[in-house]
């Protein structure tokens, strides 16, 4: 199998590459490094079955890199901090970039899996979120560059299935964490771990009663690979249904790090979803998948990474 991973130098993409290489795939990564990092894939540089090209997939690429059997389309800024800072790039990669990825899949008769997002549900009025829920998204708010372009990307995959019979698949990924998260990417786990380890106050936005559900990266990668091999088109939710308030999350980080940091309350960003929890019945049924690593265990697993990288990080 020759597999293309767009965005393969990112947090999730690089872990996916590790798993694909371990399973014997030939892997090509296209990434323009807008938020991806060479360090994430540096350990694969000597692997003969691994190839990295610095490339913006907003330019057509179907003819340039030979044939492949499957495309994991992950390229996009993904943390609220990153997509706010790269709003137009986010719109472009999820629209133009997705169309280019679909054209490449069509040309080579390859399957394609789109890494979509729980953000498609917006600030959800249905809880937990099932795949059948259409969402509550502000089309012009600060998150819209991400939410709406991912919704466009889903529509594009659905259209290529419908009009070209393409083997396109959609997964909706909920908050995921683990080693290689950038300690300064602004995400809640990265911020809290870095702050706790540097002895700074943990910044809770709002009153900390909003909830999220956090999936450890190895569980998520397992779900992606199962989905790629399945007969299902999705959309399928992938995430850990364990639901925590942000305040509980802060307290767990303090426990795991042994930090004496205080909590500091800051204003809640506009359109910040109040609650988020995946219904994963569908993934259980069609993929035989469910996460195995609970939040406290996962935080312990990525503690050494944050201990190594927190000090160097500037915000």
Active site residues: 146
Which position among 151, 212, 226, 309 is part of the footprint of ligand UDP (CB under 6 A)?
Answer: 212
Q: Can you tell me the distance from the alpha carbon of 302 to that of 286, in angstroms, rounded to the nearest whole number?
A: 29
Shortest spacing between CB 204 and ligand UDP, in angstroms: 5
Nearer to ligand UDP, 72 or 214 (CB): 214
Q: Is 100 in contact with 58 (CB distance < 8 Å)?
A: yes
The DSSP line for 5-53 is: EETTTSHHHHHHHHHHHHTT-EEEEEE--SS--HHHHGGGTT-TTEEEE
Shortest spacing between CB 189 and ligand UDP, in angstroms: 7
Give CB contacts under 8 A, 24+ apart, made by 283-289: 283/223, 283/236, 283/237, 283/238, 286/230, 286/232, 286/236, 287/223, 287/226, 287/227, 287/230, 287/232, 287/236, 288/226, 289/222, 289/223, 289/226, 289/238
Q: Does 269 bind ligand UDP (CB under 6 A)?
A: yes
Q: Can you tell me the distance from the alpha carbon of 89 to that of 97, in angstroms, rounded to the nearest whole number?
A: 10
- Alpha carbon separation from 254 to 159, 177, 179, 196, 197 (Å, rounded): 46, 17, 18, 6, 9
- In sequence order, the 6+-apart residues with CB closer than 8 A to the CB of 138 are 122, 123, 144, 147, 271
Stretch that binds ligand UDP, among 89-97, 103-111, 164-172, 182-190 (CB under 6 A): 182-190
Nearer to ligand UDP, 159 or 268 (CB): 268
Q: Does 277 bind ligand UDP (CB under 6 A)?
A: no
Per-residue contact flags (x/-) with ligand UDP for residues 101 to 120, judged by CB under 6 A = --------------------
Stretch that binds ligand UDP, among 29-37, 69-77, 85-93, 199-207 (CB under 6 A): 199-207
- The tokens describing 23, both together, are 């399973």
235 preceded by a cis bond (ω within 30 of 0):
yes
Q: Does 133 bind ligand UDP (CB under 6 A)?
A: no
Q: Does 168 bind ligand UDP (CB under 6 A)?
A: no
Stretch that binds ligand UDP, among 44-52, 157-165, 185-193, 303-311 (CB under 6 A): 185-193
- Per DSSP, helices labelled H in the chain are 11-22, 38-41, 80-85, 87-92, 98-108, 144-164, 188-198, 217-229, 246-257, 281-287, 295-309
Shortest spacing between CB 155 and ligand UDP, in angstroms: 21
Stretch that binds ligand UDP, among 14-22, 42-50, 52-60, 202-210 (CB under 6 A): 202-210
Nearer to ligand UDP, 90 or 191 (CB): 191
Which position among 12, 74, 93, 246 is part of the footprint of ligand UDP (CB under 6 A)?
Answer: 246
Nearer to ligand UDP, 9 or 246 (CB): 246
Nearer to ligand UDP, 132 or 270 (CB): 270
Q: Is 118 in contact with 172 (CB distance < 8 Å)?
A: yes
Kindly determine how many residues on this chain lie close enough to bind ligand UDP according to the rule CB under 6 A: 16
Q: Does 251 bind ligand UDP (CB under 6 A)?
A: no
Stretch that binds ligand UDP, among 37-45, 148-156, 180-188, 226-234 (CB under 6 A): 180-188
Positions that interact with ligand UDP (CB under 6 A): 79-80, 175, 186-188, 191, 203-205, 210, 212, 246, 268-269, 272
């Amino acid at each position: 199998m020759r597999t293309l991973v767009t965005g393969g130098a990112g947090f999730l993409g690089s872990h996916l590459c590790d798993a694909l290489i371990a399973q014997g795939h030939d892997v090509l990564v296209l990434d323009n490094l807008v938020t991806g990092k060479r360090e994430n894939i540096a350990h694969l540089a000597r692997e003969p079955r691994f190839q990295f090209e610095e490339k913006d997939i907003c330019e057509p690429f179907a003819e340039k890199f030979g044939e492949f059997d499957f495309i994991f389309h992950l390229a996009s800024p993904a943390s609220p901090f990153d997509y706010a800072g790269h709003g137009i790039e986010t719109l472009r990669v999820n629209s133009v970039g997705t169309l280019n990825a679909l054209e490449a899949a069509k040309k080579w008769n390859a399957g394609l899996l789109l890494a979509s997002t729980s953000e498609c549900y917006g600030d959800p009025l249905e809880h937990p979120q099932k795949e059948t829920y259409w969402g509550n998204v502000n089309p012009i708010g600060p998150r819209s560059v991400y939410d709406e372009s991912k919704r466009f990307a889903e529509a594009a995959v659905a259209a290529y299935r419908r009009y070209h019979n393409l083997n396109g698949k959609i997964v909706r990924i909920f908050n995921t964490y683990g080693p290689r998260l950038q300690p300064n990417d602004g995400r809640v786990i990265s911020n809290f771990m870095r702050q706790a380890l540097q002895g700074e106050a943990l910044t809770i936005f709002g009153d900390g009663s909003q909830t999220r559900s956090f999936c450890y990266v190895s569980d998520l990668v397992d779900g992606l690979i199962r989905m790629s091999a399945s007969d299902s088109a999705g959309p399928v939710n992938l995430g850990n249904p364990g639901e925590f308030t942000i305040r509980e999350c802060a307290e767990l980080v303090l426990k795991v790090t042994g930090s004496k940091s205080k909590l500091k309350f800051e204003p809640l960003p506009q359109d910040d979803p109040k609650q988020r929890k995946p219904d994963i019945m569908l993934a259980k049924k069609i993929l035989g998948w469910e996460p195995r690593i609970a939040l406290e265990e996962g935080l312990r697993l990525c503690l050494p990474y944050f201990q190594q990288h927190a000090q160097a990080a500037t915000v």
